Amino acid sequence: MRSEARSRLVVISALGVVEILAWGSSFYLPAVLAGPIAADTGWPLAWVVGGLSIGLLVAALASPRVGIAIHRHGGRPVLACAALLLAAGHVVLGLAPSLPVFLAGWLLLGLGMGCGLYDPAFATLGRLYGAEARPAITTLTLWGGFASTVCWPLSAALVEQVGWRHACVAYAGLHLVVTLPLVLGLIPQAPARKPATGEEHNADGPLTPRERRAYRLMASVLVLGGTVMTLVSVHLIALLQARGVALAAAVSYGALIGPAQVGARIVEMANKGRHHPLWTLTVAMALVVLGLVILAAGVPAVGLALVLYGAGNGIYSIARGTVPLALFGQVRYPVLVGRLARPGLIAQAVAPSLGAVALTYGGADAAYGLLAALALLNLGLAIALWGARPNAVEGSGGLG
């Protein structure tokens, strides 16, 4: 047992480093590089930042096929492809002579994101460990929570020392010399699928009516959750400044979210899976609602509001990986996680524009109200999931 636990720790640690570099060099890249890129090239900032939206849309289109590939072949080859695609995308970004070529680089990065962010990593763990993947997923999100903590300073240092183009090429090198060897050397090949029976054969088959209801509710939760998370990530500083908070103070308040996320994940991990994952999802949504309602109401407790929001968002990342495992069982898990990733990624792609429209035409109060309303609706959907659990949950090893 100790040997098995040690082996799992190695796998999770390797995946953790992979996720830090995957998230930090894609989703979190424009936060630091967009300004220097626009200033150096003269390309419109909106288009430079829009590269991320293009990447997320490509990831959304790819995600169902990624889930099927992980179900059939395991996560190791898919994650290896992610490292190569991310490296190629960064090379294109770094060498891009024009905006269209730059955006083409984001097409490659989008494919890499679709193969290498949380959902493929969760599916990889589900394929390796089945119904026992829940603690591994929880631990992996702890690692992923440090992506911006590690990569924002790294990106800033690279831009200052060698410029944004060489910074992109440096990330390409990291994916080739760190990410790819970790995947090929430490992520085991999943056991072959037996050409077999009923449940195995129908893993990517049609859902029952009850499963379909649970699937639609879960997809809706991911859409609203992704929308709220991205709106806050992109527009928080502007929203706080609109309420009279100085820039330095707004940045300091925003910095509370990361530690709150990690702290909540540690609490969830310490609980050792004693409760159903739907409790994690419901509590996550409740914390997000509390935080955003405090902000929307203008209560002078910005720090508390963002700690509550951060804690909720932190364990939401766990729930999005563990709830589908509990609802649909280990056999369907990789395929359904791939399908479920698509609507959430599309929501993340369009959310920045949605927030910009709300701020432009309705002002900060409308944007705050929109966030609180979306979060409250998502809490209702999470509660509704309790009544939509498929009867087949008994086969999910006690998680359902």
pLDDT in tens, 241-261: 888 888 788 878 887 888 898
Cβ proximity of 280 and 141 under 8 Å: no
pLDDT, residue 185, reads 94
Q: How many helices (H) and strands (E) does the chain have?
A: 15, 0
For residue 398, the model assigns a pLDDT of 36
- Segment 216-243 shows an average pLDDT of 88
**Would you state the pLDDT for residue 336?**
86
Q: What is the band of 203 on the pLDDT scale with cuts at 50, 70, 90? A: low
What whole-number distance in Å separates Cα of residue 214 and Cα of residue 276?
15
Domains of the chain: 2-186 (1.20.1250.20), 208-396 (1.20.1250.20)
40 vs 251, higher pLDDT: 40
pLDDT of residue 192: 67
Confidence (pLDDT) at 341: 86
Instruction: Give whole-number Cα distances, 353 to 49, 254, 313, in Å.
Output: 11, 21, 21
pLDDT band for position 394 (cuts 50, 70, 90): very low
Q: Minimal CA–CA distance to 350: which of 54, 109, 63?
A: 54
Range of lowest pLDDT (1-10, 22-31, 208-217, 302-311): 1-10
CB atoms within 10 A of CB 162: 12
Mean pLDDT over each residue of the chain, to the nearest integer: 87
Categorize the per-residue pLDDT at 1 as very low, low, confident or very high, splitting at 50, 70 and 90: low
Per-residue pLDDT of 93-126, as tens digits, reads: 999 999 999 999 999 999 999 999 988 998 899 8
**In which residue are the tokens 């970790």 written?**
182
Contact 390, 333 (CB under 8 A): no
pLDDT at 193 over 80: no
**Window from 3-7, 262-266, 293-297 with minimum mean pLDDT:** 3-7
Higher per-residue confidence, 195 vs 323: 323
Q: What is the pLDDT of residues 360-389, one digit of tens each?
A: 888 888 999 999 999 999 999 999 999 887
Helix axes 75-95, 118-129, angle to 10 degrees: 160
Res 399: pLDDT? 34
Question: Dihedrals φ, ψ of 255, to 5°?
Answer: -70, -15
Which residue type, as a one-letter code, is found at position 63?
S
Q: Is the pLDDT of residue 285 over 90?
A: yes
Who has greater pLDDT, 160 or 209? 160
> What pLDDT is stored for residue 95 in this prediction?
97
Query: In the predicted model, is pLDDT for residue 174 greater than 90?
Result: yes
Distance CA 385, CA 370 (A): 23
pLDDT score recorded for residue 87: 98
